[in-house]
Amino acid sequence: MSGRHEKDKGVNVQVLLRCRPFSEDELRSNAPQVVTCNDYQREVAVSQNIAGKHIDRVFTFDKVFGPLAQQKDLYEQAVVPIVNEVLEGFNCTIFAYGQTGTGKTYTMEGECKRGKSGPNGELPSEAGVIPRAVQQIFDTLESQNAEYSVKVTFLELYNEEITDLLAPEEISRIASEEKQKKQLPLMEDGKGGVLVRGLEEEIVASATEIFTLLERGSAKRRTAETLLNKQSSRSHSLFSITIHIKEATPEGEELIKCGKLNLVDLAGSENISRSGAREGRAREAGEINKSLLTLGRVINALVEHLGHVPYRDSKLTRLLRDSLGGRTKTCIIATVSPAVHCLEETLSTLDYACRAKNIKNKPEVNQKMMKSTLIKDLYGEIERLKAEVYATREKNGVYIPKERYYQEESERKAMADQIEQMGVLIETRQKQSEEWRERHDARVRQCSDLSSKLCATEKNLNQTIKLLTCTEEELTKCRYGLKERDFIISEQRKAENALAHQACVLRSDLEKALQDNASLFQKIGREDKLSSDNRSVVNNFRGQLSQQIVSLCNLVSTSISQQNEHLQCVQELGHSFLDVHHKSLKELKKKLSASRAVYASHIEAMQNVVSLHNASSIAGLEEISSLASSSTQSIKDYLESEAGQAASIFDDLQSSLSTHQGEVALFAREMRQRFLVSSEKRKEVSEYMSGFLDKILEQCKSLENHAVQADAIQMKNITDFQEAYEEQSKSNAEKLVADINNLVCNHLLLQKELVDARLVDLRETATGNKAFLDVHVSSMECVSTDAKRKWQEFSMQADDGAKDIADYSAAKHCRLESLLQQCVSTAGSAFEHWQKTHDSVNNMGNNHVSELVLLTRNVSESIEQHDAEVDSARVTAEQDVAKNSEDILKRIDSVSDVERGSVSKILDAVKAHANVLETFREDHSGKSAAIEDRAQETFEQRYMDYESTGTTPVRIEPDVPSKGTIESTSSNANGKSSRGISRK
């Protein structure tokens, strides 16, 4: 069901857009760009400001190829899948639509001159869809190892006339002469298709042949162009490729799969409105664009689903009827220019292409035919054609008057139209019935929806009823609970009344206790007064104690002054000791400074010696270093000069080698080219020979035909003559019997005339034959002489080429040898030079070594001398130092004696100070003991203090409730509780 549905829906026509780059003219005139392509988002944007009006539109297509897209990109992305489908057995059509000069022909045919093709038969990069498709078809079929045949046709449709672009020269010459009569007619093929009668079908055996065919077709189109004023922009060209592929079924039957690819280069779309509505004006210019206009109207009808599609109104739409809304897969390549001056046409093309996207086709695979049926069909076809040929030759077919033929033809057309309309009617009826069925289905679906909803509602109702019964049970339970609570509340009220009575008794007890409390607090006040008296006695005692403490302080201060005196004495002693010490130290310092000076002088002498030594050693070292640097410099210089020479030698060598290489490469390339040229020549000659043979064969055939014809004609003439003669002689004999006498002369004369006339006839035909034969013979001669000349030319060229090659190779050989010798000599010179360098470097090394030995000897001598000097200096310094140290020791002994005396004096002073301190201590202890006694007496015997227990309560006036309030609160509580219950 769904499969059928999908098939009914169909496949949309694929629409691609290609925008060409700016042409050189446009670049020169700096034309602004108005079209921008976004290949990835498959969008084309057109934007332009014209006279304040801003145009900004975006179109989306199945694929978009911008100015940078190459022929190969377009082919691989868009056409490869289509060709694969053709090989699967589909019929496919590709249209190129657009304004003149936007690249339709470039896209379909491209620029594929044979000369531009690659070395291994690869297509040139400019080749368009047609050569690439043929190449792909052959590649695929060859790789499948299939048995196949490929046929192509190439026709042009101009002004509703079909011209065969592949027809042989002679026929087309006749055709152009008798153009009005001999255009190719369209015929229904009896299976719903249309074919062109008498169209040349060329069988192609390899992809390379396509170049010849395209060149032939385009050449014919070109010649026509000059004759017919730019015809190509107003003519359509249709290139068809039909493929038959043999397949074997598992049962061993042979099937033929058939696929067809139509490649249509439409006329320039300028002056055609988007829907073809401007037909009236275009018609003024004749029927030139009828096909294009009809194509527009057909697309319009298909997009808007109009009942009648005007396929029959033009030959193009009749030919390609199946590609538009039929069983063929269709692709439209719309071409536009990016420049501003084409803006209007660009917009029209984009609109047209956008509309075409909505056409739907229902592609079907062509039925595979059994080989036997195909052969049977072909036999039938041959029979039919034979009969036709026979009828034409013998003129014994059916002849009807012209008027009747036209009448019948128009009747036939009318009937065909009627049939078409009926078909449309049936389609609409079918659509209607389908609609009705859909509506019925919708109703059934609605019904089922409603019944399911009803079920759901019933379920809901049952649930609600259950809920209600539950709720009622809960209500009865609640009522029982309320009654229980009422009983509990009445019991509580009785207990509260008893409590109020008890409260009254307690209140009278409380009043009595309060009176006792007041008398107790009066007693506490009295006791407080006594304790304040006691506090004043204690204060007096404090005054006396402070006076005694003052006297004690005075005593202490006098003792302190005594101590100070002692300390001063000690200080003086210390001073005297310090002075002595200072003097001895000064002397010591002087001695030390003298010894230091001596030391310094010694050290200076040492330093001088050392510096002398250093200077000499530095000079020696400098000499060494300068020598070394000079020698290294000389070595460096020498090496640099040598390196330069070596580099130049090596450069020489390298350059000669590279020239060598270059020459060899050039030589190889040239050889290859020459070989290519010679092979090309050979190919040409073989082609020419085959053409020549073909021509000869043709000529032979025509000669044979002519001979047969001539024979037949002569035979016929002779029999005619015999018959006529017999008839005549018979009648004449009868007449002779009657008028034998007077008519003898007449008879003789008549007979003579008749014979003469016949003889003249015969002679004429004979001469005609002879002339014909002569012409043929002369053409044969021409052809053979031509061929001979070509042969000679070729052989001479070949000879020349061979000689050339031989000379060239000899020259190259000589050059190579000289180059090699040069190389050898360069290498020899380099070797000699290298040896010299080696020797000189050795000499320099020797010199260097001897100089260095001398220098080291000098240095060792100076170092020995230096050692001796240093030793003597050290001995004198040691002696001086010993003497000085003895002096210093003596001085220190005397100083220590003086220090001892002063220290004993200090000890005596300290003893006296200790005695004074002892007496002071005794006085102070006596005084403090007296104070202690006094305090004891005061506190133990005179002063008594009150000790608080901390248990005495603070006096407060309690808030005793009256009897009335107690009673009223009890009654209130009763009332409230009863109300609370009712609320609960």
Sites of contact with Mg ion (CB under 5 A) = 104-105
Is 140 among the annotated ligand-binding positions? no
| Contacting range for ligand ADP; rule: CB under 6 A; set: 20-28, 48-56, 780-788, 813-821 | 20-28
Q: Cβ of residue 342: shortest distance to ligand ADP, in angstroms? A: 11
Q: Cβ of residue 117: shortest distance to ligand ADP, in angstroms? A: 17
- Number of C-alpha atoms within 13 angstroms, CB side, residue 915? 4
What is the spatial distance between Cα 670 and Cα 718, in angstroms, rounded to a whole number? 70
What is the rounded radius of gyration, in angstroms, for the C-alpha atoms of the chain? 70
Q: Looking at residues 263 to 282 of the shown chain, list those that interact with ligand ADP (rule: CB under 6 A).
A: 268
User: Binding partner of residue 135 among ligand ADP, Mg ion, none, CB under 5 to 8 Å per kind?
Assistant: none
Q: Cβ of residue 4: shortest distance to ligand ADP, in angstroms? A: 41
CB 938 within 8 A of CB 542: no
| Pick 100 or 974: Cβ nearer ligand ADP | 100
Q: Cβ of residue 791: shortest distance to Mg ion, in angstroms? A: 41
Q: Is the dihedral of CA 417, 423, 425, 431 positive or negative?
A: negative
Amino acid of residue 313: D
User: Binding partner of residue 10 among Mg ion, ligand ADP, none, CB under 5 to 8 Å per kind?
Assistant: none
Is 529 among the annotated ligand-binding positions? no
User: Binding partner of residue 352 among ligand ADP, Mg ion, none, CB under 5 to 8 Å per kind?
Assistant: none
Q: Cβ of residue 12: shortest distance to ligand ADP, in angstroms? A: 25
Give the residue from 82, 77, 50, 83 showing the smallest Cα distance to 64.
77
Bridge partners of residue 19, in order along the sequence: 336
Is 716 among the annotated ligand-binding positions? no
CB 260 within 8 A of CB 285: no
Polymer length of the chain: 984
What is the spatial distance between Cα 97 and Cα 383, in angstroms, rounded to a whole number? 41
Bridge partners of residue 12, in order along the sequence: 360
Tokens 């006839």 label which residue? Answer: 761
| Pick 100 or 366: Cβ nearer ligand ADP | 100
| Pick 349 or 970: Cβ nearer Mg ion | 349
| Pick 105 or 289: Cβ nearer ligand ADP | 105
Instruction: Spell out the residues 6+ positions from residue 337 whose beta carbon is closer than 8 angstroms to its own.
Output: 19, 20, 26, 35, 99, 101, 102, 346
**Strand locations in 20-62 (E):** 35-38, 43-50, 53-60
Q: Cβ of residue 44: shortest distance to Mg ion, in angstroms? A: 21
User: Binding partner of residue 106 among Mg ion, ligand ADP, none, CB under 5 to 8 Å per kind?
Assistant: ligand ADP
Give me the phi and psi of 345, to 5 degrees please: -65, -35
Residue nearest to Mg ion (CB): 105
Give me the phi and psi of 11, to 5 degrees please: -115, 135
Residue nearest to ligand ADP (CB): 103
Is 280 among the annotated ligand-binding positions? no
Is 99 among the annotated ligand-binding positions? yes
Is 103 among the annotated ligand-binding positions? yes
Contact map string, positions 88 to 107, toward ligand ADP, x by CB under 6 A: ----------x-xxxxxxx-
User: Binding partner of residue 102 among Mg ion, ligand ADP, none, CB under 5 to 8 Å per kind?
Assistant: ligand ADP
Per-residue H/E/C for 189-222: CCCCCEEECCCCCEEECCCCHHHHHHHHHHHHHH
User: Tokens representing 710?
Assistant: 């001539």
What is the spatial distance between Cα 198 and Cα 676, in angstroms, rounded to a whole number? 41
Bridge partners of residue 308, in order along the sequence: none
Is 879 among the annotated ligand-binding positions? no
Q: Cβ of residue 242: shortest distance to ligand ADP, in angstroms? A: 25
CB 291 within 8 A of CB 261: no
| Pick 84 or 233: Cβ nearer ligand ADP | 233
**Total chain residues near ligand ADP (CB under 6 A):** 14
| Pick 105 or 153: Cβ nearer Mg ion | 105
Is 100 among the annotated ligand-binding positions? yes
Q: Cβ of residue 72: shortest distance to Mg ion, in angstroms? A: 20
| Contacting range for ligand ADP; rule: CB under 6 A; set: 19-27, 577-585, 678-686, 973-981 | 19-27
Residue 267, Cβ neighbours under 10 Å: how many? 24
Contact map string, positions 323 to 362, toward ligand ADP, x by CB under 6 A: ------------x---------------------------
Instruction: Spell out the residues 6+ positions from residue 455 whose beta carbon is closer than 8 angstroms to its own.
Output: none
CB 577 within 8 A of CB 946: no
Q: Cβ of residue 220: shortest distance to Mg ion, in angstroms? A: 14
Q: Cβ of residue 151: shortest distance to Mg ion, in angstroms? A: 24
Among 17, 20, 275, 320, binds ligand ADP (CB under 6 A): 20
Alpha helices in 104-128 (DSSP H): 104-108
How far is CA 523 from its chain centroid? 112
| Pick 100 or 751: Cβ nearer Mg ion | 100
Q: Tell me the binding residues for ATP.
A: 98-105
Q: Tell me the binding residues.
A: 98-105
Which residues contribute to the site for ligand ADP (CB under 6 A)? 20-21, 23, 98, 100-106, 233, 268, 335
